[in-house]
Amino acid sequence: MFQTKTRRVVLKSKEEIALMRQAGKIVALALDEIRRHTKPGVTTGELDRIAEDALKRHNAIPVFKGYPNQREGGPPFPKTITACINEELVHGIPSDSRVLREGDIFSVDCGAYYKGWVGDAATTIPVGQISAEAQRLLAVTEQALYEGISQGRLGGQTEDISAAVQDYAERHGYSVVREYTGHGVGRNMHEDPQVPNFGQRGRGMRLKMGMTIALEPMVNMGTWKTKLLNDYWTVVTEDGKLSAHFEHSFAITDGEPYILTLL
Higher per-residue pLDDT: 206 or 3: 206
Which stretches within the chain are classed as H helix?
14-37, 44-57, 132-149, 158-171
What residue ranges do the domains of the chain occupy? 14-259
The CATH number of 14-259, from 3.30.565.10, 3.30.930.10, 3.40.50.1980, 3.90.230.10, is 3.90.230.10
Q: CA–CA distance from 171 to each of 47, 141, 163, 203 (Å)?
A: 34, 12, 12, 21
pLDDT the model gives residue 6: 47
**How far is Cα 93 from Cα 84, in angstroms, rounded to an integer?**
8
Confidence grade of residue 164 (pLDDT, cut at 50, 70, 90): very high
pLDDT the model gives residue 7: 55
Q: In what order do the strands lie in the sheet with 243-245?
A: 175-176, 218-220, 243-245
Does residue 128 come out as left (phi exceeding 0), alpha (psi in the -120 to 50 range) or beta? left
> pTM of the full predicted structure?
0.96
pLDDT digits (tens, 9 = 90+) for 48-60: 999 999 999 999 9
pLDDT digits (tens, 9 = 90+) for 8-52: 799 999 999 999 999 999 999 999 999 999 999 999 999 999 999
